[in-house]
Amino acid sequence: MMKTISQKEIDKQNDIAWQIRDSGSLESLELAKTTLKQAKQIAYTKGIAESLHIVCYGQATKTAEYDQARVNGQNALAIFTDIDDKVARQRVLNTLGLVEGISGNLTKAIEFFDRSLLLANELDLILARAKAFHNLAVAYEGINDFDISLDYYLKAIEIYENANDTKNVYKALQNIGVIHYNLENYDEALNSLLKTVEIYKDSNDKNTRGLAFLNIGRSYHKLNDYKKALDYLEQSIIILEQAGNRPGLSDALAEIGLVYMDMKMFTEAKDYITKSIKSKKALNDAIGLASSHYFLGKLYFEQNQKPKALKTLLKALNLAQKAQAKLLTQDINKELANSYKIIKNYKKAYRHLSEHVKIRAELFERDSYNRTQTLLVRHKIAQDDKDREIMRRNRELQIANENLKILTQRLEKQTKEDSLTKLYNRRHFDNILEKEFKRSHRYQKPLAVMICDIDNFKQVNDKFSHSVGDQVLIQIAQIFKNNIRANDTIARFGGEEFIALFPESNADKALEICERLRISVEKHPWHKINPELKITISIGICDDKTLANGEAMISKADDALYEVKESGKNSTKIWNKKQTLIA
C-alpha cells in the first residue's frame, strides 16, 4: 500500500518534478505520476491539479502521448479554474500551448498562448509574459508569419534583457537569426547570430553554440564569403561532434559540400555530400536524405554528368515524396524541369515544372489558411473576454469582420500575384490564357503569346549579388507594365522568365510590341544600379491557334526562345510551324 504523505510533502515533490522537467530522463514524469496518486489518496485538490499539469508536460515533451497530455492538461486547468488560482491557470495554458505546438497544431497552440498572455498581463507576471511572447513567436514562425514572429521575439528579448536572462536572450536571438535567414536577409541573420556567439562565448552548452556556428556558416555562404563560411562550418563540426548532435553534424557536412560546389571544387563537394548521405541514412532522416541526394544531383549536373544527375535527382524526388516533404519536392521538381530543358526534353521539363507550380500553390494556400484560422481564433478569444460588454463586443466583431474581409482580399490578390515583381503569377496567367484561347476561336480573332528570358541572369546574381538580381526583375516588370496595352496580360513565369498574352494580335503585331519591350530593356539605365550592369532579353512568339490549347502555344513560343538563345540572344523570334516540320 502506498505511503500516505502530507500536503506539504506533495507540494515539495511537485516542485522538484517541475524543476527537473527538462532533464534528459523520465524522472520528472514518473515522480509526478507517483505524486498524483498520493494527492488523490488524501483528496488534495491543488496537489492533484499540479501533478496533472506536470504529467501533461512530460507526456508531451518526453513520451509524445499528446492525446493523454491534452486530457491531463485540461483536467488541471478545470481544477485551477474551480479554485480560482489564476497564476497556476496561466502556467497550464502555456503548457497546453506547448502540447499543441509540439504535436503540430499551431493554430490551437496560438490560441492557448494568447490566453496565457492575457492572464500574464492581468496578473502582471513579467517573466510569464516574456515566455508567452517567445512561444507565440515560435508558433507564428511555424506558420511562416515571420513579421508577427519577429515582433514577438523582440518583445520577449526586451523583458529577458531587463531581467538579465542571458540564456533566453540567446535563444530568441538565435531564432531571429534563423527567421532572417529564411527571409533571405542574410546580413540581418548574421547580425543576430554573431550576437548569440558573443553572448554565449563562455557557455558550456556545446550543442547550442555548435548550431549557432552552423547557421553563421550558412549565412556567410549565402553572402558568397566562402572562406568565412568554411571556417564557421568546420568549427561547427568539431563542436557538434563533441556535443553528440549527429543531426546537426550531418547538416554541417552537407552545407560544406554546397560551399565547395559553389567554389567549383567538385571533388571536395562530393566527399562532404556523400558523408552527409551516409549520416542521414544512419539517422533514418528521410527528409535529410532526400535533401542530400538533391544536392548530389545538382553537383553531377555542375560536372556535366547529366545521366547520373537526372538519376540522382529522380531518386531525391522519390525520397522527398515518401517523406511528404512538400517544400523540398517543389524545389526538386524545379531543378528537374531546368535539367530536362537543358537536354531539350521539353515534355518532361514541362511536367516537372507544372508539378513545381502546383505544389507551390498548395503550400501558399495552406499557409494562407493557417493564418486566417489563427486570426479567427484570436478574434474569438478577444470576444470571449468581453462577453459582459455586449455593445463593445458587437463593435469589435464588426471590426474583426472588416479586417477579415481586407485579409481575404489581400490573400486573393496574393494567390494571383508574384510577390517580388507584382505581376500576375503563372497560375493566374494560365486561367486567363485558356479563356482567351477559347474566346479567340469563338469570335475568330487572332491571338499571340510570348515568353522571354533575361540573358545571362545567373551571371548577374553571381557577379553583383541576388539583391541586384531582384532589382533587375522588379525594374523589367515595370518596363513591361509601361509598354504593353491595357488588354494585354503579362506574368512572371518563374526565375528570370516572363510570359505575355496579346489578345486580337497576330504574330506581326506581337513582334512590334515585343521589340518595343526588348529595346526598352536594352536601353534602360541599368548603370544606376551598378556601373558595370547591362541587361538584355530574348523573346519567343507564337500565334498558331491550330495548336491544342494555350499551353501548347506557350510551348512553341518557348521553342522559338530557345532558338534565339542558341543564335546569340538579345533578339525576338516568331515560331514557324513550317520550319519546324521541315526540321
Highest mean predicted confidence (pLDDT) among 206-220, 247-261, 316-330, 334-348:
247-261
Return d(Cα 523, Cα 520) in angstroms, integer: 5
Q: Which residue blocks in 263-305 are alpha helix, DSSP H?
A: 266-283, 286-302
φ, ψ (nearest 5 deg) of residue 92: -65, -40
Q: Which of 77, 554, 534, 135 is nearest to 357 (CA)?
A: 554
Task: Look at the alpha carbons of 541, 547, 550, 555 in this order and tell me if their dihedral is positive or negative.
Answer: negative
Residue 163 vs residue 93, higher pLDDT: 93
402, pLDDT greater than 80: no
Return d(Cα 15, Cα 10) in angstroms, integer: 9
Q: Are 444 and 503 in contact (CB under 8 A)?
A: no
Q: Which amino acid is at 342?
A: I
Averaged pLDDT for residues 191-214:
80
**Which of 3-17, 344-358, 495-509, 516-530 has the weakest average pLDDT?**
344-358
Residue 394 vs residue 528, higher pLDDT: 528
Residue 17 vs residue 103, higher pLDDT: 17
365, pLDDT greater than 70: no
At 71 the pLDDT is 96
Return d(Cα 344, Cα 15) in angstroms, integer: 68
At 582 the pLDDT is 29
**Could you report the per-residue pLDDT of 136-158, keeping only the tens digit for each?**
988 888 877 888 888 888 899 88
Residue 351 vs residue 327, higher pLDDT: 351
- What are the residues facing 452 on neighbouring strands? 498, 539
Residue 191 vs residue 76, higher pLDDT: 76
The pLDDT-based confidence of 369 (bands split at 50, 70, 90) is: low
Q: Give the angle 64-66-67 at the CA atoms, nearest 5°.
A: 140
Q: Are 554 and 449 in contact (CB under 8 A)?
A: yes
Grid coordinates representing 553? 502555344
Grid coordinates representing 314? 529522380
Averaged pLDDT for residues 128-136:
92
At 389 the pLDDT is 52
Percentage of the chain modeled with pLDDT above 70: 90
Return d(Cα 210, Cα 217) in angstroms, integer: 11
Q: Are 415 and 426 in contact (CB under 8 A)?
A: no
Q: What letter does residue 417 receive in the DSSP assignment?
A: B
At 578 the pLDDT is 59
At 73 the pLDDT is 96
12, pLDDT greater than 90: yes
Q: Which amino acid is at 265?
A: M
At 449 the pLDDT is 97
Q: Which of 499, 474, 515, 509 is nearest to 550 (CA)?
A: 499
Q: Are 13 and 48 in contact (CB under 8 A)?
A: no
Distances (CA, A) of 424 to 70, 334, 420, 427, 472: 44, 19, 10, 8, 17
**Which of 59-63, 128-132, 440-444, 529-533 has the weakest average pLDDT?**
59-63
**Could you report the per-residue pLDDT of 232-280, keeping only the tens digit for each?**
999 999 988 887 878 888 899 999 999 999 999 999 999 999 999 998 8
**Which of 298-307, 402-411, 423-432 has the weakest average pLDDT?**
402-411
Number of Cα atoms under 13 Å in the Cβ half of residue 512:
6
Q: Which amino acid is at 3?
A: K
Q: Which of 243, 178, 179 is nearest to 210 (CA)?
A: 243
**Which of 34-38, 253-257, 576-580 has the weakest average pLDDT?**
576-580
Residue 103 vs residue 341, higher pLDDT: 341
Task: List the domains of the chain with CATH numbers.
Answer: 1-104 (1.25.40.10), 426-582 (3.30.70.270)
The pLDDT-based confidence of 89 (bands split at 50, 70, 90) is: very high
Question: How many other C-beta atoms can be found within 10 angstroms of the C-beta atom of residue 431?
Answer: 12
φ, ψ (nearest 5 deg) of residue 409: -65, -40
Q: Which amino acid is at 114?
A: D
At 580 the pLDDT is 45
Q: What letter does residue 381 receive in the DSSP assignment?
A: H
367, pLDDT greater than 70: no
Return d(Cα 554, Cα 544) in angstroms, integer: 10
581, pLDDT greater than 50: no
Q: Helix or strand or coil: residue 498?
A: strand
How many Å from the N-terminal Cα to the C-terminal Cα in the chain?
93
Q: Which amino acid is at 545?
A: K
Question: How many other C-beta atoms can be found within 10 angstroms of the C-beta atom of residue 496?
Answer: 20
Q: Mean pLDDT of all residues in the chain?
A: 87
Averaged pLDDT for residues 204-228:
88
Percentage of the chain modeled with pLDDT above 90: 54
**Could you report the per-residue pLDDT of 157-178, keeping only the tens digit for each?**
889 888 888 878 878 888 888 8
**Which of 308-322, 488-502, 505-519, 535-549 has the weakest average pLDDT?**
308-322
Return d(Cα 242, Cα 239) in angstroms, integer: 5
| Predicted TM-score of the model (pTM) | 0.49
**Could you report the per-residue pLDDT of 457-495, keeping only the tens digit for each?**
999 999 999 999 999 999 999 999 999 999 999 999 988
Return d(Cα 221, Cα 272) in angstroms, integer: 15
Biggest CA pair distance of the chain:
97
221, pLDDT greater than 70: yes
Return d(Cα 352, Cα 332) in angstroms, integer: 9
199, pLDDT greater than 80: no
Q: Are 101 and 108 in contact (CB under 8 A)?
A: no
The pLDDT-based confidence of 387 (bands split at 50, 70, 90) is: low
Grid coordinates representing 448? 499571340
Burial class (CB in 10 A: 0-12, 13-18, 19+), 161: middle
Q: Helix or strand or coil: residue 501?
A: strand
